């Protein structure tokens, strides 16, 4: 956020605060606490609230009963950095600019990381000029604290601007699963003065590869099947075997159950601290995960439903609309407007999110990066853009043929229906929407990335 933006917004906030004070005149603006939980790498269809039958998410399912479940929610991207940037800014990847950048330019990871491979990972950090949810809330008087589990969430990449307290010690990121992350978040919550509203961010990272559910959570039938590096070679686009899939999914589900257990503790702490009743709690994934669908593993460079469709559960203050299920299409860019409306804040300029119920087209984007070409071959040497207007979903590549699916009849995106009127109409709509996106004037270079962050990114396979 720059000074001029800050000044204008300050005025808007004063006006918004004044308007909030009028109705009840209770003396202080009753702003609800805002708790945002991002479930890294968590597919919507692996939650009980979304129809999964394995019983691995009792706490998320209970939250769903106390809140609103958005059954048709999509991310704007299929990997952590751009997806979180969209959640935090209300903008699409093109507009916030925190994306892979294979075209060179001023800002790349390769400029700050030594070694040949780093020059091939070109991702821009979220620029300081962007206004984030945490900045908005902090300016409105919130105590802001972030507790993150994933390396792309490190302060170097710009996502944590606005959080006065940043618990993102990269030296412990890989070794800091949901239990310790939750302990630290609860400790912070306990230390906050009750009279100040808090904005808490927790980014749970457990379901992300490597899938190693802790003891007590590794009891699904195939969770202990030994996995070799070769088993993960399906990442390179080979078909997956039933044995591989069962082993991977059982481990993944174990990680989700572990995360769910500790999320339950976090929500319980809010109740104990008397912060539950009026709290706004938003739980969303940044993206999902592929387990062999379309011969793909993991995530990041494609836009099929298994990576793009995300769970979204919102528990409104006072339990308003508890148990409601909404079918309206929602993009993660709509979360900033949702929170701003709920707490009575004006939106920053340039926000592309819409109130739920007003969105007709969902847009997602994926930009080429050199590592994808090396890992996946020419299949993903391309930028991809997707437009979803229920029930139609179009995936357009800047090279080669578009793909069109009917999600109501073909949720697995198996039958490509491109080459018809529906494709042309949706393509025109998608181009119209994207013509309104405004890239940031200048993408900022990442600040120095610590050796520990670099090591974590290497372990996770993002860099070598
Ligand atoms: Zn992620």
Listed in sequence order, the DSSP H helices in 32-79 are 58-66
In the chain, the percentage of residues whose pLDDT exceeds 70 is: 80
Q: What is the total residue count of the chain?
A: 464
How sure is the predictor about 23, in pLDDT bands with cuts at 50, 70 and 90?
very low
- The average pLDDT across 180-189 equals 97
Cα(207) to centroid of ligand 1, in Å?
Answer: 9
Q: What angle do CA 390, 396, 399 make, to 5 degrees?
A: 170
The label of the residue with tokens 């229906």 reads 417
* DSSP per-residue codes, 319-384: GTTTT-EE-S-EEGGGHHHHHHHHHT-PPPTT-----TTS---EEEEE---HHHHHHHGGGG-S-E
Contact in structure between 39 and 204 (CB atoms under 8 Å): yes
In a domain, 368, yes or no: yes
Cα(41) to centroid of ligand 1, in Å?
Answer: 5
Helix, strand, or coil (residue 83): helix
How sure is the predictor about 28, in pLDDT bands with cuts at 50, 70 and 90?
very low
Contact in structure between 456 and 174 (CB atoms under 8 Å): yes
In a domain, 185, yes or no: yes
Contact in structure between 173 and 462 (CB atoms under 8 Å): no
Cα(51) to centroid of ligand 1, in Å?
Answer: 22
Cα(453) to centroid of ligand 1, in Å?
Answer: 15
Cα(99) to centroid of ligand 1, in Å?
Answer: 13
In a domain, 153, yes or no: yes
The larger pLDDT score, comparing residue 128 to residue 13, is at 128
Cα(286) to centroid of ligand 1, in Å?
Answer: 5
- Our count of domains for the chain comes to 1
pLDDT at 295: 87
In a domain, 267, yes or no: yes
Cα separation, 267 vs 62, whole angstroms? 11
Over residues 293-351, the pLDDT tens digits come to 998 888 888 999 999 999 999 999 999 999 999 999 999 999 999 999 999 999 999 99
135-139, 168-172, 175-179, 376-380: least confidently modelled range: 168-172
Query: pTM of this prediction?
Result: 0.88
Cα separation, 151 vs 177, whole angstroms? 13
Q: Say how many CA atoms lie within 13 Å of 127 toward its Cβ.
A: 18
Contact in structure between 267 and 313 (CB atoms under 8 Å): no
pLDDT over threshold 90, residue 253: yes
**Cross-strand bridge partners of residue 397:** 384
Cα(76) to centroid of ligand 1, in Å?
Answer: 12
In a domain, 391, yes or no: yes
- The average pLDDT across 74-92 equals 97
Over residues 416-431, the pLDDT tens digits come to 999 888 899 999 999 9
| CA-based nearest residue to 81, from 104, 95, 99, 106 | 99
In a domain, 119, yes or no: yes
Cα(205) to centroid of ligand 1, in Å?
Answer: 8
- Summary mean pLDDT of the chain: 86
**Is the torsion defined by CA of 310, 304, 356, 344 positive or negative?**
positive
Cα(25) to centroid of ligand 1, in Å?
Answer: 43
Cα(195) to centroid of ligand 1, in Å?
Answer: 33
pLDDT at 9: 53
Give the CATH number of the domain where residue 437 resides.
Answer: 3.40.720.10
Cα separation, 307 vs 298, whole angstroms? 8
How sure is the predictor about 1, in pLDDT bands with cuts at 50, 70 and 90?
low
3-state percent helix, strand, coil for the chain, nearest multiple of 5? 40, 15, 45
Cα(353) to centroid of ligand 1, in Å?
Answer: 20
Angle between helix axes 242-272 and 178-191 (nearest 10 degrees) is 20
Domain range spanning residue 430? 31-459
- The average pLDDT across 250-268 equals 97
Contact in structure between 192 and 279 (CB atoms under 8 Å): no
In a domain, 7, yes or no: no
**Cross-strand bridge partners of residue 384:** 366, 397
The larger pLDDT score, comparing residue 169 to residue 58, is at 58
The larger pLDDT score, comparing residue 400 to residue 365, is at 365
Contact in structure between 58 and 264 (CB atoms under 8 Å): yes
In a domain, 3, yes or no: no
- The average pLDDT across 165-186 equals 81
pLDDT at 271: 97
Cα(237) to centroid of ligand 1, in Å?
Answer: 20
Over residues 119-140, the pLDDT tens digits come to 566 678 899 999 999 999 999 9
Cα(376) to centroid of ligand 1, in Å?
Answer: 19
């Amino acid at each position: 956020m720059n000074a001029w933006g800050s000044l204008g917004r300050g005025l808007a906030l004063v006006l918004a605060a004044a308007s909030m004070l009028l109705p009840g005149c209770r003396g202080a603006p009753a702003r609800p606490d805002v708790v945002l939980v991002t479930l890294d790498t968590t597919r919507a269809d692996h939650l009980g609230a979304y129809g999964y039958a394995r019983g691995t998410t009792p706490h998320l399912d209970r939250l769903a009963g106390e809140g609103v479940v958005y059954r048709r929610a999509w991310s704007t991207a299929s990997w952590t950095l751009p997806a979180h940037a969209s959640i935090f800014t209300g903008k699409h990847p093109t507009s916030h600019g925190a994306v892979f950048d294979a075209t060179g330019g001023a800002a790349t990871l390769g400029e700050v990381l030594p070694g040949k491979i780093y020059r091939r990972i070109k991702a821009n950090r979220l620029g300081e000029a962007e206004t984030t949810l945490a900045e908005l809330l902090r300016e409105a008087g919130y105590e802001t604290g972030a507790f993150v589990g994933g390396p792309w969430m490190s302060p170097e990449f710009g996502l944590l601007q606005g959080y006065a307290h940043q618990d993102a010690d990269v030296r412990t990121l890989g070794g800091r699963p949901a239990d310790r992350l939750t302990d630290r978040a609860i400790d912070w919550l306990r230390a906050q003065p009750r009279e100040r509203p808090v904005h808490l961010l927790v980014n749970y990272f457990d379901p992300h590869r490597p899938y190693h559910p802790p003891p007590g959570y590794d009891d699904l039938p195939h969770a202990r099947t030994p996995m070799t590096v070769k088993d993960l070679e399906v990442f390179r686009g080979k078909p997956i075997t039933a044995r591989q899939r069962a082993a991977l999914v059982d481990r993944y589900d174990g990680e989700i159950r572990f995360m769910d257990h500790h999320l339950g503790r976090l929500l319980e702490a809010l109740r104990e601290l008397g912060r539950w009743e009026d709290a706004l709690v938003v739980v969303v994934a940044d993206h999902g995960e592929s387990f062999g669908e379309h011969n793909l593993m993991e995530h990041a460079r494609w836009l099929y439903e298994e990576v793009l469709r995300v769970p979204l559960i919102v528990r409104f203050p006072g339990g308003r609309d508890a148990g409601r299920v909404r079918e309206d299409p929602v993009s993660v860019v709509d979360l900033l407007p949702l929170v701003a409306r709920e707490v009575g804040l004006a939106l920053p300029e340039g926000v592309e999110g819409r109130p739920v119920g007003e969105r007709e087209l969902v847009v997602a984007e994926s930009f080429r990066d050199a590592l994808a070409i090396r890992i996946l071959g020419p299949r993903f040497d391309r930028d991809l853009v997707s437009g979803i207007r229920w029930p139609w979903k179009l995936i357009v590549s800047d090279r080669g043929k578009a793909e069109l699916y009917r999600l109501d009849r073909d949720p697995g995106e198996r039958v490509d229906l491109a080459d018809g009127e529906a494709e042309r109409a949706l393509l025109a709509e998608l181009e119209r929407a994207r013509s309104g996106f405004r890239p940031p004037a200048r993408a900022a270079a990442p600040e120095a990335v610590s050796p520990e962050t670099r090591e974590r990114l290497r372990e996770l396979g993002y860099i070598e």
